[in-house]
Structure 1
Amino acid sequence: MYGKVMQLVRKSKGISQNELATGVMSRSNLSNFENEQYIPAFDKVILLLSKLNITVEEYLSLSKQTDIQYQFLYQELVKTENYGTRDELININTQISYFKLKSPKYYELYLLSQYVLILYQLPCVISLKEIKDYIKPLLFESEQWFNHELRLYNNFLFLFDYSENYTLYNKVLRKLSTEDCPSISERYKVHLSINFGIQLLEYNQEKEAKKILAFAKEEARKEKLIIQELFIDFLLSEFTKNHDIKLARTKWKTYSTSLGLLKQ
């Protein structure tokens, strides 16, 4: 988001990457920043803003306006996936498709909307293989795990089989446990663990699934994520009764809808 806003301001002022980067950072680093692939130190960002003759307040305001649109579309997609009709799913996909070339983040959102259509057996223009071919390198080759990467992995976790996820999930948890990441949302650690636990149950890996779901529940308790705790207990209780994870998830959807709970 911040890199894209920097790019928009730079272009609006007719300044080249070389001109803006000179004396601050390499042109390649500026290019990577503008493409959301590099995070420069704060003092470097201040120098860039000074050369663009824009204040930090103006820059943050522009960034917030850009992000509001993305967050609205993302939240509408999540809400519609959980509680919308088939026509509403198609409609939100159409809205998202208008912005798919705006930035890599918007294109990833577009792929997510297409993925949802596939899951609900609705008409789409991209295949599951095409989605996986695009997303897999972004995750499996990533060495940076910030909120964006964690959300991306959480959204597309079920694209991969459990052996692939076993490798990536453990890599991510090791990365988060060995680095000081105060800006990383602990919610994603909980959500990733829940989703991977569900997939393991689908593959009849019950022992490993219960271990990961117990970890997810403990993390949820630490973060006071009551709905997630409730979901894990409900899931395991229903699964113990009939060993049908899909039925357990369907029952949860009905139960949570009746309580007015939105998926986190």
Structure 2
Amino acid sequence: MIWNYGNVYRMIRKSKGISQNNICNGNLERSTLSKFESKNRVPSFDTMQYLLEQVNVSFDEFEYICNEYNNSERQAILVDFYSLVSNAQRSKIDTLIKRCELYLKNNNDYKINEINHILHIFIELNEINKLNVSDISVKLATIVWDRISLIDTWTYDDMRTINFIFYFLPLETIKAIVPKMLRSLEKYNTLKEISILRLSILTNFSTIFLENAMYTECKNILDYAHSFAENAKRYDYLGIIMVRKSICEQKSAEVTKWLEFLSMASEEDIVTELKKEIDRHLVGYSSKYDFKTM
């Protein structure tokens, strides 16, 4: 990490051919900018925001450049964690756990520690029936929920975290908080990631209905999620949605069609997880509809 932020900013400014006078333009004392660039005096948030706007660089990109054009390990863990589609992605989860534990050896970081808790829960969810999790996993999830439940206004990150511990909340609690979460997400509509989080919440909600054999409710939420998956062009989520809808409708041929779709897209971990759901909920699924994964 390059900690001399002033030097990095000067490098960006000069590479764009922008003078200090152009940056300040009567809105900022030139001495303030000079001190920042030469002596690394970190300005206030408002001033830093102004400076970055003048060179058209976001805070995230500035951090990325300061880290020599790489994500920091913390940011890389966050990116990889939130990119997980399913608890069935075991190899990715195992790797993330190792990275979290290595990072936590040298850093006291509540968020990475929280992610580590959730990843351990994911492993158990992948190995046993979602409705029969251990006391250890419930305890880990409760640690996370106890913190978030006390917050009056959930941030985008809080809602992402809640989404990962859905399975450990009472069904009535979930029914109450999901509409609130979806309304809250509307505040973040300009964030490009919002569509994926909404899809993830809806598909997780459908899982809970499915595992409680509430097939009508499950299909209703999947019908609602369908258009979001298509608009976002997230065909992994679309495949999950269509397999589960077909399970709810007891349509074996449609189940196989969409499993093949996911297999052709190399989503084998998702196929494996969905087959477990099929075994539990699709009555008389005939082997004639089954297929060999690619």
| TM-score interval, normalised by the smaller of the two chains | 0.5 to 0.7
- Once the two structures are TM-superposed, the CA of residue 138 in structure 1 deviates from its matched residue by 3.8
Matching residue of 2:98 = 94
Distance 1:106 1:9 in 2: 25
Secondary structure (helix, strand or coil) at the match of 1:241 reads coil
Query: Which 5+ residue runs of structure 1 have no aligned equivalent?
Result: 11-40, 50-54
Distance (Å, rounded) in 2 between the aligned partners of 1:231 and 1:159 = 21
Do 2:230 and 2:238's aligned partners in 1 also have CA atoms closer than 8 Å? Answer: yes
Deviation at 1:211, TM superposition (A): 1.6
Letter of the 2:226 counterpart: K
Shift of 1:175: 1.6
Q: Do the aligned residues in 2 keep the contact of 1:162 with 1:203 (CA within 8 Å)?
A: no
Instruction: Report the residue type matching 2:190 in the other structure.
Output: P
Using the TM superposition, give the Cα deviation of residue 229 of structure 1 relative to its aligned residue in structure 2, in angstroms. 2.1
Which residue of structure 1 aligns with residue 222 of structure 2?
213
Q: Residue 75 of structure 1: CA displacement?
A: 7.5
Instruction: Report what 1:115 is aligned to.
Output: 121
Cα deviation for residue 191 of structure 1 reads 1.2
Which structure 2 residues correspond to residues 63-142 of structure 1 after superposition, within 5 A? 65-66=71-72, 67-71=74-78, 74=81, 81-82=88-89, 84=91, 92-100=96-104, 101-120=107-126, 127-142=136-151
Aligned to 1:228: 237
Equivalents in 1 of 2:126, 2:188: separation in Å? 39
Residue 259 of structure 2 is aligned to residue 256 of structure 1: no
Gap regions ≥5 residues in structure 2: 6-43, 53-57, 129-134, 271-294
Cα distance in 2, alignment partners of residues 145 and 262 from structure 1: 33
CA offset digits 1:133-178 (Å, max 9, x no partner): 22113433341331x233322222212132121122111012223x
Equivalent residue pairs, number: 210
TM-score (norm 2): 0.56
- Greater C-alpha radius of gyration: 2
CA 1:81–1:211: 2 relative to 1, 3 Å: closer
Q: Does 1:204 align with 2:223?
A: no
Check conservation: 2:226, 2:241, Cα contact below 8 A.
yes
2: CA distance, partners of 1:80 / 1:181:
26
What SS does the corresponding residue of 1:213 show, helix, strand or coil? Answer: helix
Give the corresponding residue for 1:28: none
Amino acid at match of 1:157: F
Change (3 A) 1:150 1:45: farther
Whole-angstrom CA distance in 2 between matches of 1:82 and 1:112: 14
CA distance in 1, matches of 2:86, 2:201: 19
- Give the superposition deviation at 1:132: 2.0
1:210/1:44 CA distance change after superposition, 3 Å: farther
Corresponding residue number in structure 2 for 1:182:
190
1:144 paired with 2:166, answer no
On the 8 A contact 2:148/2:158 being kept in 1, the answer is yes
Percent identity between matched residues is 15
Q: What displacement does 1:217 show? A: 0.8
